[in-house]
Structure 1
């Protein structure tokens, strides 16, 4: 097993903590209430793909003390997520977003999140020593959206905590999800590069890298990330083959045809889960990337961020 991915030991399972925000999702015709959030989506798909494997997927965020929060917590637990790191803030509630999709499945979001429980949580005095205790967790998964939720002073404290976690042997997996509505590109570039210098695995979407750095090929994103210190870089290019690179080599893994794209929500999040699960389970880079494409292809054929469990693609040997 690559050192970028922990091996399950006889002492117990691999502990993975995903850090971010989940919101209530309203979408569809007629409108339906669901839920979603980039790191939450990845955590749920990762928990599904690692079912029966010695691993525990934890979610770290904040919810309110309202009935909607109670419902979210119950659904996450039903999915197999460990929720002891979910803070409950009195008088607060989850954020909300409305999603619209066009005939090609491309989506547009409208957010109501500025006073959400998660915003107050990330803006407060988070106990990073407890959250990132290397004796309790093996891996932290976070995204560009996670970084944007922290005010600048607290983001600096997060960077210090990530560096300490990394020095203590913890692994960091990072997805570059960039949302211009949350912060400026120059702020995001600096923050992303701080994390990429510590990351063991980076999952980059070329469209987001283009928003941050201007038009450039996947190879340039790979070289930039490896040069910063990241050890395994995956660049997603939509329907084009993804590019995966380490110091040992580079792979181009083609996507798989999707009969009809219904909703591209969570396409990248589910790809991340497929890739990370494939690698955790001992798969090679091409095998893990192929699984990632299969999972993402299944997800975009359904509306909403989280598809029914019975619609998940079967794991293949290897």
Structure 2
């Protein structure tokens, strides 16, 4: 059996958004896609020629069929996904009025994925796999999902996988007190931690960027990649700080999914095993990883879908080398 570069675990939803920029109140026509932080990362990694396995639960319904077929069409292994006959696949609506960040309305309570518990974790999820990527969304989904995601991370570590964790704070899903407690408790279980600036402030209070990186490293991760929006990003490894400037774009269409694109870009470089064999290799890889992550994060703001416009490996290499992508 061939190796799997990345396993990711989480919920995907069917996404509806008006065809034209419009309020949901009056939009007559919608386009259908899928949304979910983990599947966004999975699709982008697959387009960058990484082998990805996506783990989830879906309803035994047409929406679940749509999500499975879409991800399988992107070359992602969905063979471990479980279907729940008596639960629904989650859905969400995105409203973009043409100014500011879009509004997103979630309908995921009591969804199939919210039923995840420790007993669901299976050894074959991690078979032949090198790395696990998880987010702070999954533990907020249901009664037992905090223990579930912790068990996923602990089990993966026992199986020899490295682990990345994006806090992906969703204030609508739980109280701020619970979110802070849980997210902080999961940081020591990961090797690569990738918060945004707002999330760092939420977890540690108002501090300097350098202090955020230092304190997160002290919690246990090997690498911290801090997303700084228009200021680019900073990587922290041991006592080293690596700065990477933002990839400039002329306009912002939709910011949803940018953090997931950043995560995929970062992992696509860091998981090249030969680059991580030494201290110097990690530093060299981290420079490149942050640059690619910044590019992919910026490109994700250029289209409405969460992942639809993600480039393939050939395209991202041309951009990295400052060459024009040929028109088709």
Question: TM-score, structure 1 length as denominator?
Answer: 0.86
Distance (whole Å) between structure 1 residues aligned to residue 10 and residue 306 of structure 2: 15
Which residue of 120, 127, 137 corresponds with 1:145?
A: 137
Query: Residue 94 of structure 2: SS of its match in structure 1?
Result: strand
Structure 1 equivalent of residue 26 of structure 2? none
**TM-score between the two structures when normalised by the length of structure 2:** 0.84
In 1: Cα distance, 2:264 partner to 2:232 partner? 17
Q: Assess if the C-alpha contact under 8 Å between 1:298 and 1:311 holds in 2.
A: no
1:163 to 132, 154, 167: 154
2:45 maps to 46
Q: Which residue of 1 aligns with 2:72?
A: 77
Secondary structure in 2 aligned to 1:25? strand
Q: Which runs of 5+ in 1 are unaligned?
A: 1-10
Cα deviation digits, residues 156-213 of structure 1 (max 9, x gap): 3542453343244221110011111111222222222222112110111111222344
**How has the CA–CA distance of structure 1 residues 262 and 161 changed in structure 2, closer, same or farther, with 3 Å as cutoff?**
closer
User: Distance between the aligned counterparts of 2:37 and 2:181, measured in 1?
Assistant: 21
Shift of 1:131: 5.7
Counterparts of residues 71-220 of structure 1 (less than 5 Å)? 71-120=66-115, 122=116, 124=117, 126-130=119-123, 133=126, 135-151=127-143, 153-156=144-147, 158-220=149-211
Aligned to 2:189, what secondary structure does the other structure show? coil
Shift of 1:87: 0.7
Could you tell me which residue of structure 1 aligns to residue 285 of structure 2? 284
Counterpart check, 1:269 vs 2:260 = yes
RMSD of aligned Cα (Å): 2.3
Deviation at 1:25, TM superposition (A): 0.9
> Gaps (5+ residues) in structure 2?
21-28, 276-283, 322-328
Is the 2:64–2:89 contact (alpha carbons within 8 Å) kept by the matching residues of 1?
yes
| Alignment partners' CA distance in 2, 1:161 and 1:111 | 25
Per the TM alignment, residue 221 of structure 1 is displaced from its structure 2 partner at its CA by 2.0
**Alpha-carbon distance, 1:62 to partner:** 0.9
SS in 2 for 1:293: helix
Distance 2:170 2:181 in 1: 15
Task: Measure, in 1, the Cα distance between the counterparts of 2:94 and 2:129.
Answer: 34
- Deviation (angstroms), 1:150: 4.3
Give 2:7's aligned residue.
17
Counterparts in 2 of 1:306 and 1:160: CA distance versus 1, 3 Å: closer
Q: Shift in Å at residue 111 of structure 1?
A: 1.2
C-alpha spacing 1:230/1:310, structure 2 compared with 1 (3 Å): closer
> What residue number does 1:314 align with?
316
User: Structure 2 vs 1, CA of residues 173 and 44 (structure 1 numbering), >3 Å: closer, same or farther?
Assistant: same
Contact 1:68–1:94 (CA under 8 A) maintained in structure 2: yes
Per-residue displacement from partner, 1:108-163 (whole Å, max 9, x unpaired)? 2111111321112x2x4533243654x54322110010221242x55235424533
